[in-house]
Amino acid sequence: MVNKMIMKDNKGFSLLELLVVIAIISLLLSIAIATFLGIRDSSRMAVFLRAAKEAKGDLLSWLDQAYNPSGKITTTSSINCQEVNAGELLRDGVATKYAYCRNSILREESPWKTGSPLWVVLTDATGIASYTGQIVLVQKQTTASTWATSVSVYAIGLDGKTLYYDEAKY
């Protein structure tokens, strides 16, 4: 009779067994979450760098349009934008119009800084390291009404280092 009572009391799991299972599940979840966050960050970085690399081709087209006008730009290789004519490109600068198109019309934002535009335009490369997580376009203004015929493209990482650099020249 005593043996039957002992057997009835042993149904289910002990507290120690439950704690071990919870610890194992917690360990597996922490590994899975860390892996997921790493994948998400690397995919953000890939999209960020791809946008910077594609910008060169677009900017070459826009520079060609500005300095060798034969009509209006209605589309480029990777984006659709409002019509932009050569006069506007020469007056405002190719980099300025391009960044406006990408930021305002296409609403591209930095993947790491919510609410910050992805594209930034400067007339000098000084201090670009402060634009972390953004793509900086540098088009020098040679005089008050004249822009350089090249645009430099910098992709600035979260640590302030340049991850990508190229130059589109007419």
Question: Per residue in 53-102, pLDDT tens?
Answer: 999 988 888 888 888 766 555 444 445 566 677 778 888 888 998 999 88
- Note the pLDDT of residue 10: 65
- Note the pLDDT of residue 75: 46
In a domain, 1, yes or no: no
In a domain, 147, yes or no: yes
- Note the pLDDT of residue 81: 67
In a domain, 81, yes or no: yes
More confident residue, 11 or 149: 149
Confidence of residue 131 (pLDDT cuts 50, 70, 90): very high
- 27-55 average pLDDT score: 88
- Note the pLDDT of residue 130: 94
Q: Report pTM.
A: 0.73
Total number of domains constituting the chain = 1
- Note the pLDDT of residue 46: 92
In a domain, 39, yes or no: no
Tell me the residue type at 135. Answer: I
In a domain, 44, yes or no: no
In a domain, 152, yes or no: yes
Domain span at residue 91 reads 52-169
In a domain, 28, yes or no: no
132 pLDDT exceeds 80?
A: yes
In a domain, 10, yes or no: no
- Residue-wise pLDDT for 12-37, tens only, equals 888 888 999 999 999 999 888 888 87
CA pair distance 139, 122, nearest whole angstrom: 7
